[in-house]
Amino acid sequence: MRNWMLSSIVALALPCLAFALQPAPADNTPASTPSNKTVAPSNLAKLLEANVRAAWEMFKKKDKEGYAKFLTDDFQAVESDGEGERSRRHVLGEVEHCMYTDYLLQFFQVQPLGPDHAFVTYESSMQFPKNSALRFRRVFVGELWTRQNGQWQMMRYQETLVR
């Protein structure tokens, strides 16, 4: 009986000892990398955030030609109004009827998807005229950007209403 108990204890202790003796993670593992807050934003992130901000400003100024430069020919958008997918031509028609008077863009994240594609997410808070039925609107936005002929352009736009 004593031998059986001693064997059982050794059988249980060996895996625990092996686990305790595993080497520490290497310096390039996620556990040892600094958080996103301490890493400087990449050049791509800065460039795409600047492009997003410039595109919003063109839309606000109702500059159809200026806004069009940010969109690919096959651009598609889905807005939070439930009206479905919009083509580039449809969205450019909406530029002339822009209703928001001010906006705030924040919480940008840029995820490269290869050398010529990136996914950009951020939050937009929009303000509308005082006499408008809708005064404020906040949406989360996801955009797919692609580099064509050396220039980054928006290929897809998707917004989700924040309640």
**Residue 112, in any domain of the structure:** yes
54, 93: one domain: yes
User: pLDDT by residue for the chain (163 residues), tens digit each?
Assistant: 444 444 444 444 444 434 444 455 454 444 434 444 333 358 999 999 999 999 999 999 999 999 999 999 999 999 888 788 999 999 998 888 878 888 999 999 999 999 999 999 999 999 988 887 778 989 999 999 999 989 999 999 999 999 8
| Per-residue model confidence as pLDDT tens digits over 41-70 | 589 999 999 999 999 999 999 999 999 999
Do 66 and 128 lie in one domain? The reply is: yes
pLDDT of residue 113: 94
Determine the pLDDT at residue 129: 85
For residue 125, the domain's CATH number is 3.10.450.50
Token pair in block for residue 155: 């290929």
The reply to whether 16 and 95 lie within a common domain is no
Please count the structural domains in the chain.
2
User: In this structure, are residues 105 and 52 in contact, taking their beta carbons and an 8 Å threshold?
Assistant: yes
Does some domain include residue 107? yes
Determine, yes or no, domain membership for 38.
Answer: no
Do 67 and 15 share a structural domain? Answer: no
5, two tokens: 């108990």
Residue 112, token pair as written in the block: 């490269």
Domain interval for residue 134: 43-161
The verdict on 27 and 93 lying in the same domain is no
Any idea of the CA torsion for 57, 62, 64, 67, to the nearest 10 degrees? Answer: 10
Residue 7 and residue 47 share a domain? no
Do 87 and 126 share a domain, yes or no?
A: yes
**74 and 129 belong to one structural domain:** yes
Q: Which residues contact 88 (CB under 8 A, 6 or more apart)?
A: 68, 71, 72, 73, 74, 75, 76
Distance between CA 123 and CA 107 in Å, rounded?
6
